Structure 1
Amino acid sequence: MKITATKATPVNMPLEIPFWWTAGYYPGTSKTIIEVETDQGIIGLGEAPSVDVVETIRAMGEVLVGMDPIEIAACEKKCVPAWQIVQNTDDSSVVKAFGGIEIALWDIRGKAWDQPLYKLLGGAVRKEIPFTEYFAFRPEIDGKGGENSPQAVADYCQQMAEDHGSSFFEGKLILGDPELEIDTVKAIRERLGKSAMIRLDSNMQWSLSTARHILREIAPYSIRNYEDPVATFEEMAQLRQHSSIPFSTHMPDIRRIVALGGVPDNIVTNFAVLGGIGRAQRFIGACEAMGIGFWCYSGDTGICTAAYLHMVAATQWMHEPSQSLFRWQYIDVIEGGPFRQTGNVIPVPEGPGLGVTLDRETLARMHADICDNGPVDHFHDPARPGQFRRLPLN
Structure 2
Amino acid sequence: MKIKRITGTSVTIPYASPVGPYVGRGGGSGTLGGAGLIVKIETDADVVGWGEGTGRFETDPNAILSGKDVANIEGAIAALETGGIGKGPMSGIEMALWDAMGKGADLPVCKLLGGVVREEVDFCACMGLKAPSESAATAREYMERWGFRFLKTKAGDDSQQDLQIAEAIQAAVGDEAILRPDANSGYSPEEAEVTMRKMKDLGIRYFEDPCSPEYPEALIRCRTEIGMGILVNMGVGTADSVVNLLANEVADMLMPDPPAAGGVRPVMKGATVAGAYDVPRL
TM bucket (normalised to shorter chain) is 0.7 to 0.9
1:35 equivalent in structure 2: 40
TM-score, length-normalised on structure 1? 0.62
Report the aligned-residue RMSD: 2.4
Q: Report the 3-state secondary structure (helix = DSSP H, G, I; strand = E; otherwise coil) of the residue aligned with 1:161.
A: helix
Matches within 5 A, 1:297-308: none
In the TM superposition, residue 158 of structure 1 has moved relative to its aligned partner by 2.0
Q: Which residue of 2 aligns with 1:218?
A: 199
Are the structure 2 counterparts of residues 186 and 272 from structure 1 closer, same or farther at C-alpha, using a change threshold of 3 Å?
closer
Question: Alpha-carbon deviation of 1:77?
Answer: 4.1
In structure 1, distance between residues paired with 2:4 and 2:272: 33
Q: Which residue of 1 aligns with 2:23?
A: 20
CA distance in 1, matches of 2:267, 2:158: 37
- Report the TM-score when normalising by structure 2: 0.85
Is 1:161–2:148 an aligned residue pair?
no
User: Do residues 241 (structure 1) and 246 (structure 2) align?
Assistant: no
Match of 1:2 in 2: 2
Q: Is contact 2:243–2:273 with CA below 8 Å preserved after alignment? A: no
Q: CA deviation at 1:239?
A: 4.1
- CA gap 1:97/1:165 in 2 versus in 1, 3 angstroms: closer
CA distance in 2, matches of 1:193, 1:246: 18
Alpha-carbon deviation of 1:130? 1.0
Alignment counterpart, residue 274 of structure 2, candidates 244, 262, 287: 287
Aligned mate of 2:120, from 115, 128, 133: 128
Q: 1:229·1:236 contact (CA, 8 Å) conserved in 2?
A: no
Identity %: 27
What SS does structure 1 have at the residue aligned with 2:7?
strand
1:177 aligns with 2:158: yes
The offset of 1:40, in angstroms, is 1.8
For 1:71 and 1:104, the matched residues in 2 are separated by 13
Instruction: Return closer, same or farther for 1:153/1:162 CA change in 2, 3 Å cut-off.
Output: same
Q: Distance in 2 between matches of 1:124 and 1:181?
A: 38
Rounded Cα–Cα distance in structure 2 between residues aligned with 1:265 and 1:49: 27
Which amino acid is the alignment partner of residue 19 of structure 1?
A: Y
Contact 2:136 2:172 (8 Å CA) reproduced? yes
Q: Aligned pairs, how many? A: 269
- 1: CA distance, partners of 2:9 / 2:115: 31
Distance 2:91 2:121 in 1: 22
- Structure 1 residues 112, 255: closer, same or farther in 2, change over 3 A? same
Which consecutive residues of structure 1, in runs of 5 or more, have no partner in the other structure? 139-147, 296-394
Any residues of structure 2 matched to 1:1-394 within 5 Å, and which?
1-16=1-16, 17-25=20-28, 26-27=30-31, 28-51=33-56, 54-56=57-59, 58=60, 60-81=61-82, 93-138=85-130, 148=131, 150-173=132-155, 176-230=157-211, 232-242=212-222, 243-250=226-233, 251-252=235-236, 253-260=241-248, 262-295=249-282
Task: Give the SS at the match of 1:66.
Answer: coil
3-state SS, counterpart of residue 211 of structure 1: helix
Distance change >3 Å, CA 177–CA 283, structure 1 → 2: closer
Contact kept, 8 Å, 2:219 with 2:230, in 1: the verdict is no
User: What SS does structure 1 have at the residue aligned with 2:21?
Assistant: strand
Cα distance in 1 for partners of 2:192, 2:97 equals 43
User: Residues 286 and 112 (structure 1 numbering): CA distance in 2 closer, same or farther, change over 3 Å?
Assistant: same
In the alignment, structure 2 segments of 5+ residues that lack a partner are none
DSSP-derived class of the 1:281 partner: helix
Structure 2 CA distance for aligned equivalents of residues 69 and 101 of structure 1 = 11
